[in-house]
Amino acid sequence: MESSLHRTLKERYADAGRSEVALDGFRIDAVDPEGRLVEVQSGPLGPLRDKLRRLLPGHRVRLIKPVALERRVVRRVRRDGPDLSGRKSPKRGQLIDVFDDLVGLAPVFPDENLRIEVLAVSIEEVRVPRRRAPYYDVVDRRLVAIEQTRSLERASDLWSLLPADCQGPDPFTTHDLARRLERPLAMAQRVAYCLRRSGAACVQSKRGNLLVYVRHE
């Protein structure tokens, strides 16, 4: 079922264009007034990889990827019931979280016909209770605000998703990156993979069993 978040973004980025378009055997979320295909993907990006491989040679594609920085949890008794209460979630996201999903598109990014727009958003997450852990189901997500946007068109644009102290020219390993990001090693490995696969970074040497990366312009 389409979420309110997905529907709102689709309508916003179509902006007087067309929505739900059949093209080359695929269902496209929208076509904007400039003729670019618009795909909104709030979940993992990997499932779009084969679709993009087919579309990109002949079409310009604008991929919209929201990342929730802040969320307000709204409680209902049932899916179609009224909102009963709301509270701000203590969990906050960061733009860098998008690398969890970008890793699935590493084989097709960058491409001259592809623009990925990463949206830092605040949302409302509507939940209803259930008997088993985690004891709730998310039945809808609603857009509250778009806080900032990062456009990814070139490999070097990936650096804009990282904190300033991670963007310098100094060589680094995934352990170095994990420490600077204050994130688990697995996240640093996903970031390094995306940087290397896109050409934004390259392997300079090895330090023991660790690859040493350096920024590549």
Model pTM above 0.85:
yes
Q: What angle do CA 25, 28, 29 make, to 5 degrees?
A: 160
| 169: preceding bond cis by omega (within 30 degrees) | no
Q: What is the mean pLDDT of residues 184-193?
A: 96
| pLDDT the model gives residue 23 | 84
- What tens digit of pLDDT does each residue of 107-116 get? 999 999 999 9
pLDDT at 113 (0 to 100): 97
Sorted by where each starts, the structural domains of the chain and their CATH numbers stand as 4-153 (no CATH), 155-217 (1.10.10.10)
Please write the tens of the pLDDT for every residue from 88-138: 998 899 999 999 999 999 999 999 999 999 999 999 999 998 888 888 889
What's residue 152's pLDDT?
97
- The helix/strand/coil state of 63 is strand
- The helix/strand/coil state of 91 is coil
Task: Quote the CA–CA distance of 92 and 204 in Å, as a whole number.
Answer: 34
Measure the CA–CA gap between 131 and 75, rounded to whole angstroms: 15
Strand partners, 214: 202
Residue ranges of E strands in 41-194 = 61-75, 85-88, 114-129, 136-152
Alpha-carbon torsion angle 144, 149, 155, 158, nearest 10: -70
Task: Give the pLDDT band (50/70/90) at residue 16.
Answer: low
